[in-house]
A and B are shown apart, each in its own frame.
Chain A
Amino acid sequence: MLMKIISSLLIIICCSLLGVHMSHRYTQRINNIRELRNVLSQLETEIVHYSTILAHAIRKSSKSVKGDWKPVFDNIVEALESRMEYSLSEVWQESLRSLKHNPNIHKAEYEIMQRFGLQLGNSDKISQEKYFQLTQEQLKIEENSAREERLKYSRMYYNLGILLGLGIAIILF
């Protein structure tokens, strides 16, 4: 009997944790987008107002970034400073690829950043400023939709986890 209770409790805890994990992804996505928007706004200042060389600008802006985008920016800076023959867009796409299957990053923001990488650095300040604004707007839309999704699904996954655990425990009991 004791064994049964303990194992049932274990099942409930595991399933709840699974639910928490699933619902946590929605929060993570929002955090990632927010961090990204921070980096971009700093990068915009460095580029448009200070004309900082791109590698330095990215390094400076991404210094305090947290979350899943950090290694991507580190990777880009390193590749640019090694001065290999790759073009910036190749470096950018290659570094981004590591996030392709990341559950905390949706296809939408991934594609926004992919497009952004094609324009970064290769035009005058006025055009650069426009690309930054456009990207910021698109990311803002994604941030809002991520918030809505969190409202909708985060709670649901959380409850689903507990209920699933309870369900399995009841069936097995």
Chain B
Amino acid sequence: MKQKTDGLEYYFQPVLDALPDNFRKMIMSVSKEILRELEEIRVRQGRPLMVYSRGRDYFLCPDGSVSRYPKKAYVVTDQDARCILELISDYSIYAFEEELASGYITLQGGYRVGISGKMTSGKDGIIRFQHITSFNFRIAREIRNASNKIIPYVVKGNRIFHTLILSPPQMGKTTLIRDLARQLSNGFPGFSGVKVGIVDERSEIAGCYQGIPQNDVGVRTDILDGCPKATGIIMLIRSMSPDVIITDEIGKPMDVMAIEDALNAGITIITTAHSHGLEDAQRRPILRSLLENNVFQRIMVLGNSLGTGTLEKAYDLIEGKELLDRPIR
């Protein structure tokens, strides 16, 4: 069912397709200002339906208006929850066993639905969902050229530096490296494209649906979707001869070993980590060992002093100096 309203095309159609009809109608009648910056649709069984946009949340009322008061809001029924589960899995729960066990499903278009509910551990020791009662539809946006601000610090001539991007959650890390992958892969004026490998453990960067990237990650890009980072990095080195490997959210000791393997193979690594800044990162054992071994040549710190996705600081670790005198966006 394709529905469009004048001017505002519903770029998140796959998300609407995964919602029951009454939800679709409610969401369609929300004001365009909210829809344009829609970030999340939160569905919790037995509780009010909510949308998150422009930095705050709104309760959705049955008539499609938004409210600040939960009392007026539409309350999600168990029928709704069942219906959503059928729709997001294309009526085929059996085909999404692994995704369900890891807590999310990727829809067509690369949109992700986080799920939670009652879990139970089976005889084989694997923990599975017994009842799924909460859904978080994340409306990820591809922001083209989001990485323009950091490219001058990451690329010099035809040389790409080993880069670590530090950022608190929800500051546009993934959007940034997705666009970085696209630009490095396609090339841009003054830089010819290189082979890029992405290890996309949680299907966030490329948003693969059945192995095909739904986001533009460039023409010279290969993706290992749903693969653990450490294994994926080593597989890419062996099989796809990438020039650059891009991956998201390192944090395990195994990741560090894989990154060192990649460096030894002469491959550039660009990765991210949850952190509020360099000092914060140095307090965390895994990141500290990477920093002390001088693995990375550039550190970029994201924040929100000038709005989401502000580049707060850029460090050049080769010469040990800061590259920015003030935050840029």
Contacts and interface: CB of A to CB of B under 8 A. Distances in A.
Interface of A: 47-48, 51-55, 57, 80, 82-85, 87-88, 121-125, 128
B95 A53 contact: yes
Interface in B66-117: 82-83, 86-87, 89-95, 97
B63 interface: no
Contacts of B93: 121-124
Given A82-B1, A83-B1, A124-B128, A88 B94 contact: no
Interface stretch (B15-23, B41-49, B193-201, B252-260): B15-23
Nearest to B18: A83
Interface string B1-34: 1000000000000000100111000000000000
A13 B194 CA distance: 83
A84 B128 CA distance: 28
11 contacts: A47-B94, A51-B94, A51-B95, A52-B92, A54-B95, A80-B91, A83-B17, A84-B21, A87-B83, A121-B94, A124-B97
B76 to A, nearest CB: 14
Given A55-B90, A121-B92, A85 B83 contact: yes
Interface residues of B, number: 18
Contact of A54 (B82, B83, B90, B97): B90
Given A54-B92, A87-B82, 18 more contacts: A47-B92, A47-B94, A47-B95, A48-B94, A51-B94, A51-B95, A52-B95, A53-B95, A54-B95, A83-B17, A85-B22, A85-B83, A87-B86, A121-B91, A121-B92, A121-B93, A124-B94, A124-B97
Given A82-B1, A124-B128, A125-B97, A53 B82 contact: no
Contacts, number: 55
Contacts of B83: 85, 87
Interface in B204-259: none
B107 to A, nearest CB: 12
Contact of A85 (B21, B90, B91, B95): B21
A53 B92 contact: yes
A79 B192 CA distance: 48
Nearest to A92: B91
A84 B94 contact: no
Nearest to A48: B94
Given A47-B94, A83-B1, A84-B21, A122 B128 contact: no
A87 B80 CA distance: 10
Contacts of A80: 90-91
Contacts of B90: 53-55, 80
Nearest to B22: A85
A53 B96 CA distance: 9
Contacts of A83: 1, 17, 87
Contacts of B92: 47, 51-54, 57, 121
A157 B95 CA distance: 48
A63 to B, nearest CB: 18
- A53, A82, A84: residue with the most chain B Cβ atoms closer than 10 Å: A53
A52 B96 CA distance: 10
A61 B155 CA distance: 53
Contacts of B128: 124
Contacts of A88: 86, 91
A124 B97 CA distance: 6
Q: Which 7 A-B pairs have the closest CB atoms?
A: A85-B21, A51-B95, A54-B92, A54-B91, A53-B90, A88-B91, A121-B91
A55 B89 CA distance: 11
Contacts of A47: 92, 94-95
A21 B12 CA distance: 56
Contact of A128 (B22, B89, B94): B94
A85 B23 CA distance: 10
